[in-house]
C-alpha cells in the first residue's frame, strides 16, 4: 500500500538525472535515462511523456530531441507528480469521482476518511522536488531552444 510505484520511482530518477547535469542544459532522451539506470525504456518513456503533457518537462520531437526540465519544476510537489502519473490521490475509492465502492452497506469509511485524505494530500503537497532530491540551489535553466 505504501510502496512507490515504478512510475514514480522512474520519474524521480529521471528528475534526479536531469537535475544533476543541469548547467549543461541539453535535451536528454528517454533512452539515455533508461540506459543509465537500467530501467525499461518504454516505461520510463511513457512517464516522461505524461510529465511533458502535464507541463513539468519540455519535450522536443525528432533526432537530437528529448526532454528537459521546465522552469519551476523544482517546486512541483510529490502530490502533483502522483496525480499526473497515477490519478487522484485517495485513501478510499468512494472519494474518487466515480465512487464505485462496493461495500456501501453501512460503510462509514468515506466520511471518516475525508479529513484524513485531505491531510495526506497536504503532506505530499508540501514535499517538493527541490527538497526531495536534496538540491542546494537550482541553477536557472536557460531558455529553451531548438536542439540544433
Partner DNA sequence: AAAAATTCCGACAAATTTTGTCGGGATTTG
Partner DNA sequence: CAAATCCCGACAAAATTTGTCGGAATTTTT
What are residue 66's phi and psi, to 5 degrees?
A: 145, -150
Site residues for its own copies, 50-89, by CB under 8 A, read 82, 86, 89
Q: How many CA atoms lie within 13 A of 87 on its CB side?
A: 7
* Ranges of H-type helices in the chain: 6-20, 30-37, 41-53, 78-86, 109-125, 129-132
**Which is closer to ligand FES, CB of 93 or CB of 130?**
93
- The reply to whether 23 sits near DNA by the rule CB under 7 A is no
Residues 91-120 that bind its own copies (CB under 8 A): 91-93, 103, 105-109, 112-113, 116, 119-120
Residue 101 CB partners (closer than 8 Å, separation 6+): 92, 93, 94, 107, 110
Output the nine-digit C-alpha cell for 79: 502530490
- The Cα 4–Cα 73 span in angstroms is 20
Question: Which residue, among 59, 44, 35, has the nearest Cα to 14 in the 3D structure?
Answer: 44
Q: Does 104 bind ligand FES (CB under 6 A)?
A: yes
Closer Cβ to its own copies, 57 or 94, answer by number: 94
- Binding partner of 125, given ligand FES, DNA, its own copies, none, CB within 5-8 angstroms per partner class: none
Nearer to its own copies, 43 or 52 (CB): 43
Residues 117-136 touching its own copies, rule: CB under 8 A, are 119-120, 123, 127, 132-134
Residues that bind its own copies (CB under 8 A): 1-5, 8-9, 12-13, 16, 36-39, 82, 86, 89-93, 103, 105-109, 112-113, 116, 119-120, 123, 127, 132-134
Amino acid at each position: 500500500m505504501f510502496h512507490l510505484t515504478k512510475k514514480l520511482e522512474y520519474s524521480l530518477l529521471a528528475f534526479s538525472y536531469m537535475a544533476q547535469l543541469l548547467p549543461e542544459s541539453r535535451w536528454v532522451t528517454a533512452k539515455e535515462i533508461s540506459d543509465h539506470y537500467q530501467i525499461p525504456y518504454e516505461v520510463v518513456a511513457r512517464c516522461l511523456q505524461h510529465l511533458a503533457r502535464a507541463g513539468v518537462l519540455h519535450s522536443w520531437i525528432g533526432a537530437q530531441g528529448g526532454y528537459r526540465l521546465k522552469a519551476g519544476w523544482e517546486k512541483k510537489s510529490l502530490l502533483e507528480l502522483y496525480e499526473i502519473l497515477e490519478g487522484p490521490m485517495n485513501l478510499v475509492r468512494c472519494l474518487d469521482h466515480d465512487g464505485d465502492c462496493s461495500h456501501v452497506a453501512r460503510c462509514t469509511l468515506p466520511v471518516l476518511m475525508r479529513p484524513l485524505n485531505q491531510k495526506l494530500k497536504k503532506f505530499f503537497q508540501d514535499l517538493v522536488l527541490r527538497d526531495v532530491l536534496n538540491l542546494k540551489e537550482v541553477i536557472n535553466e536557460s531558455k529553451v531552444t531548438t536542439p540544433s
